[in-house]
Amino acid sequence: MKKNGRLFSELQLHVGIRMIKTALAVFVCAVFGWLRDSDPVNAMIAALICMDKDLHGTRSKASNRIIATLIGGCVGLIFLGLAELLHIRSIPLLYYLMMSVMLFPIFLLTINLKVRDSAALGCVILIIMAVNHEPGTAAVVYALNRLVDTLFGIIVTLFINLLIAPPEDVKELDEEFSSIASSAAESDEMKDLVQEMLNEKEE
């Protein structure tokens, strides 16, 4: 009994900001799918995978995840086209074997493009496309819809992290904007100086 009491006392019941942001992102993606009358699974999975504890983490990985998403979508489209061309959809064992083999191009491309940490997302897209694609549905249209869903999930995580940014992230953003504004001002001053020099030369 004492052991059970210790176990319950050590349970972590604190709801952190990342949990709240993730749940909110999944909800937004679900509503997006509902409004489009489309399966929101891709968008929700992307939101789950891409959400980080702060804005910096999300921003630094967002471009990698977008690249991996495009890779997964393109490989998925090729897979669906080949499966249709070879008429193997009616042979499940061969169909899923071919799907598994098509994971290798995703691994190799993400490694060579230096986005290997996002390879799992690209593989998830391929797997969902392969499993959920209904025979008779245009492969290109289906693949593009799944790409849009996944990219939307990534964008939602960026927006929510920006909307619910911790104080240190807000401070970092302010410093970045100040630096950009300062550089722009210096650039304008330099342009004015060059223009004055040109005017003096013409006179």
CA distance 15 to 35: 29
Q: Looking at the structure, do residues 46 and 95 belong to the same domain, yes or no?
A: yes
Range of the domain at 191: 167-203
Q: How many separate domains does the chain show? A: 2
Question: Which residues, including other chains, have CB under 8 Å from residue 94's CB and lie 6 or more apart?
Answer: 88
State the number of CA atoms in the 13 A half-sphere of 91 facing the CB: 9
Q: Looking at the structure, do residues 148 and 73 belong to the same domain, yes or no?
A: yes
CA-nearest of 170, 173, 166 to 21 is 166
State the pLDDT at residue 82. 92
Is 4 within a domain?
Answer: no
SS3 136: coil
State the pLDDT at residue 17. 83
State the pLDDT at residue 13. 64
Q: Looking at the structure, do residues 190 and 129 belong to the same domain, yes or no?
A: no
Is 105 within a domain?
Answer: yes
- As given in the structure block, the two tokens for residue 108 are 């190799």
Q: Looking at the structure, do residues 36 and 131 belong to the same domain, yes or no?
A: yes
Which positions of the chain have pLDDT values less than 50? 201
pTM over 0.85? The answer is: no
Q: Looking at the structure, do residues 181 and 126 belong to the same domain, yes or no?
A: no
What are the distances in angstroms from CA 131 to CA 120, 124, 126, 159?
A: 16, 11, 9, 30
